[in-house]
Amino acid sequence: MKITAFELKAMQRMQPGALTLNGFLGSDTRPLNEIIDDDAKVLARLHYSQEDVAARMEYFFRISWETFLGDELVDGKYEVQTDVFRGKLPCPYGHVGLYRKAITSVTNSTNGISVIWTPLNIHMIRDHGFFEGKGSAFRLEPDILVRAIFE
């Protein structure tokens, strides 16, 4: 599938140094639409939508954001913590709005899987189906993420 002008512009904003020091694509050389399609296939195989995943991530983020107490045990098995930093980031797709710099970490005590994400990750998954490129510092492998937050 041919890359669109919109995707090309977004990929330019995702390069290291454009919006963030390390960018959003990591070492991934696939076109943006292929990255998104491949991750969508994984989600479909697992019977989850990008909206399901983003809503669950938002659930953990909101609980930990409101506690201000460090780790929070959620639903009896998820250890959740959000660390907040100064500043905000724009969406590389050009959406209006800024996203707080924060990192949420979740550890599923049942299966031992830990994942981290930012508020921008939640937005990019929900609105764009984008889990970042392979090798990116905040890449979320859909199958691992699903196991971490749903099992």
pLDDT at 5: 86
The share of the chain scoring above pLDDT 70, in percent, equals: 98
Containing domain of residue 52, as a range?
5-150
Q: Say which residue, 4 or 90, is predicted with more confidence.
A: 90
Which of 61-75, 99-113, 136-150 shows the lowest mean pLDDT across its residues?
61-75
Residue 3 is predicted with a pLDDT of: 80
- Number of domains, the chain: 1
Mean pLDDT over 46-58 rounds to 98
The alpha carbon dihedral of 109, 115, 118, 124 has a sign of negative
Structure tokens at 8: 């090309």
Q: What is the mean pLDDT of the chain?
A: 93
pLDDT bin (cut points 50, 70, 90) of residue 1 is low
Q: Residue 135: which pLDDT band, with cuts at 50, 70 and 90? A: very high
Cβ atoms of 138 and 124 closer than 8 Å: no
What's the pLDDT score for residue 56? Answer: 98
Alpha helices by DSSP H, listed for the chain, are 5-13, 32-46, 50-67, 119-128, 142-150
- pLDDT band of residue 2 (cuts 50, 70, 90) is confident
The confidence score (pLDDT) of residue 68 equals 65
φ and ψ at 83, to 5 degrees? -105, 130
Amino acid at site 119: P
- Average pLDDT, integer, range 81-92: 93
pLDDT at 106 over 80: yes
What pLDDT is stored for residue 69 in this prediction? 63
Question: How far is CA 37 from each of CA 10, 44, 60, rounded to the nearest angstrom?
Answer: 16, 10, 26
Q: What is the CA radius of gyration of the chain?
A: 15
Q: List the structure tokens of 52.
A: 């399901």
Q: Which of 92, 93, 56 is nearest to 74 (CA)?
A: 56
Contact 76, 59 (CB under 8 A): no
